[in-house]
Amino acid sequence: MRSSTLKAMTRTRDLKAGHFVFEFATPGIGHIIKQAGGEFVLVDSEHSGFGFETIKSLLQYFKAADLPAIVRVPSADYKDIARACDAGAEGVMLPMVGTAAQAERIVQSMKYTPRGGRGVIVRAALDDYTPGDTMAKLAAANARTTLFAQIETEEGVENAAEIAAVDGVDCLWVGHFDLSCSLGIPAQFGHPKFIAANQKVVDGAKAAGKSLGRLVPDAASGVALYRQGFDFIAYSADAWVLGDALAAALADIRGRI
């Protein structure tokens, strides 16, 4: 049993600091993030090219490191959502959630009866291959699975409060790049339209008592967003951290010679 579950983490507004993984599907990656102080990891299968076999392996690496994992699936199709859960994903992130009705369909795909219509599999990755009472397992899975609804379109912003209010949605996650594009102001995060949209998502999550999350490029951004109400802060990504640190170190060596 993990020391802290994603579901429990979404029930507080304390800071949860984590990391984004889209490149390095290595056995040690979970332990590296954990030892660095990471409290959760967001694994991408929307843009990374990771297939489900890779995701399944990564989830075992994170489990070994006692690190709760969110999997961002490539679409809201049942097959993508259910397969991520079956592979052992504790949390699932859905891109471009636009309406409460869509959020409800996602919940239906994630949850077993009586809450949803997910197909049943037991004694597999999701329950650590353990025997036991089937109905107890389904109830435990329903209690464990955690939904992160990504708000990254103008439609999603307009419906943020209704999406957050859906039973089964645990966190609204602002996809800032895609949201800025949807608003017609690509990468202009200081633009009044973006600031207003971001605040509407914050207000919607707060009204429903749900968590808020975002990816940040630096520590200062993480602090500023936490003060706005974001409690899940994913700092940068695996390939970006390596690239930045390596570039800085090599430049420093060359500058000293």
- Average pLDDT for residues 7-25, to the nearest whole number? 97
Listed range (2-16, 109-123, 145-159, 236-250) with the worst mean pLDDT:
2-16
Is 189 a member of any domain?
A: yes
Is the per-residue pLDDT at 233 higher than 60? yes
Is the per-residue pLDDT at 2 higher than 60? no
| pLDDT cut 90: percent of the chain above it | 98
Is 84 a member of any domain?
A: yes
Which residues are CB-neighbours of 85 under 8 A, at least 6 positions away? Answer: 92, 110, 118, 126, 141, 145
User: Number of H helices and number of E strands within the chain?
Assistant: 12, 8
Candidates 136, 106, 104; CA nearest to 120 is 136
- pLDDT tens-digit profile of 128-157? 999 999 999 999 999 999 999 999 999 999
Annotation marks residue 176 as catalytic: no
**CA-CA distance, 190 to 55, in Å (whole number)?**
35
Is 56 a member of any domain?
A: yes
**CA-CA distance, 54 to 108, in Å (whole number)?**
25
- pLDDT tens-digit profile of 41-70? 999 999 998 999 999 999 999 999 999 999
Domain containing residue 197: CATH number? 3.20.20.60
pLDDT of residue 143: 96
CA distances from 210 to 141, 161, 201, 229, 242 (A): 20, 10, 11, 10, 33
Is 165 a member of any domain?
A: yes
From the list 19, 31, 47, 191, the catalytic residue is: 47
Residues of the domain holding 219? 6-256
**HSE, side-chain direction, 13 A CA sphere, residue 171:** 31
Is 1 a member of any domain?
A: no
Is 85 a member of any domain?
A: yes
pLDDT of residue 249: 98
Global pTM reads 0.95
Is 205 a member of any domain?
A: yes
Is 136 a member of any domain?
A: yes
Q: How many separate domains does the chain show?
A: 1
